[in-house]
Amino acid sequence: MKDFKALFSAYQFAESTEDVTATVKKIIEAGYDRHNNIEHYKKLFNSLEITSLSPYDNEDSIRRLVEKINDLDDKFPELPSPAGICVYPFWVDTVKNLLTEDIAISTVVGFPSSQSYIEVKIAETALAVSSGATEIDMVLPVGRFLAQDYEEIHSEISEIKAAAGEAKLKVILESGLHPTPQSLYNASILALEAGADFIKTTTGKEKPTDLNAVYVMARALKDFNDKTKEEHGIKLAGGIKTTQDATMYSTIIAAINGDDHINSTNLRIGATGLANSLITSILKEDTVYF
C-alpha cells in the first residue's frame, strides 16, 4: 500500500484561498500585457482541442466538425493547426476515418462524473484506443477523493493508463468541486503520481474553471516535474470562451512553468467556442467558423 501521507508531505504547498487570489492578481498584472499579442494567440490556437461533447452529437454533426478541421489550412492559411479533436468514444472511429490532419484524437471515459465500474472504464478506454483514440481524458472520482480513498483512485488511474497503452492520459480533476486549494493541489499530485500525462481542470459539466484553480494546478505541475525530472502537461476546459480569458490563463501557466510551456505538447485547451475568438483576434476581423 502506498503511503499517501508521505507522498503529499513531499510536496510543499500551504497557500490559502486568499494567498492564491493575491498571487494570481499580481501575476496577471505583471504578465498579461506581454502575452496579449497575435503570436501568443497563435500558440493558444495551436494548443486547442476542438471539442464536441454534446447530447446532440450525431454522425452529421461530427462529420461537419471534422470537415471544418480538415479545411482549416485552406480557409485560414495564417493559422497553425489545432492540437486535436475531442469527441465521445462512440465517434472516435468516425473521426479517424474522416480526419486528414495529423492531430490528436481525444475521447473521454467515465464521463462526466466517474460514477461507474472500473471494469467499464477500462473497457471503454481499450475500445476507444482500438478505434483510433490517441489520447484519453478520464474523470477523477471526486467524491471518493474527498473521502480519502486515495489507494483506490491511484489504482484506477494506473489501470486506465495501462489500458491506454501508447495513448496519452489526461485526468480531469473537477477543480471547482475541491473545497480548498490544498485539496486540488493534492489531487493534482495524486493524478500525476499515478501516471497522468496531463492534469485537466474540469469536464465543463460542473463548476467552470477559474484562475485560482489553474494557478494551484500549475504549481503542482511544476513541483512534480521538478522533483521527477519528467515532463507533464495541463489542459484547461470549462468556460474559457474569449481570447482575453485564454491569455489570462496562459499568463499564469507561463509565470509558473515558463513561457516554453505554452505549446501543444505541454498545454491543451478544450474550448471550441474559444477557436472563433482566437481566429477573430488573429485575423482582426469577426469570424464565426466553428
User: Of residues 43, 161, 170, 200, which has the active-site annotation?
Assistant: 200
User: Of residues 137, 197, 223, 245, which has the active-site annotation?
Assistant: 137
User: Of residues 43, 161, 235, 245, which has the active-site annotation?
Assistant: 235
> Is 235 an annotated catalytic residue?
yes
Q: Give the Cα separation of 5 and 197 in Å (integer).
A: 22
> Is 137 an annotated catalytic residue?
yes
Q: What residues have CB less than 8 Å from 82, skipping those under 6 apart?
A: 45, 46, 47, 48, 49, 50, 69, 72, 103, 275
Q: Give the Cα separation of 163 and 64 in Å (integer).
A: 30
> Is 68 an annotated catalytic residue?
no
Q: Which residues are catalytic?
A: 137, 200, 235
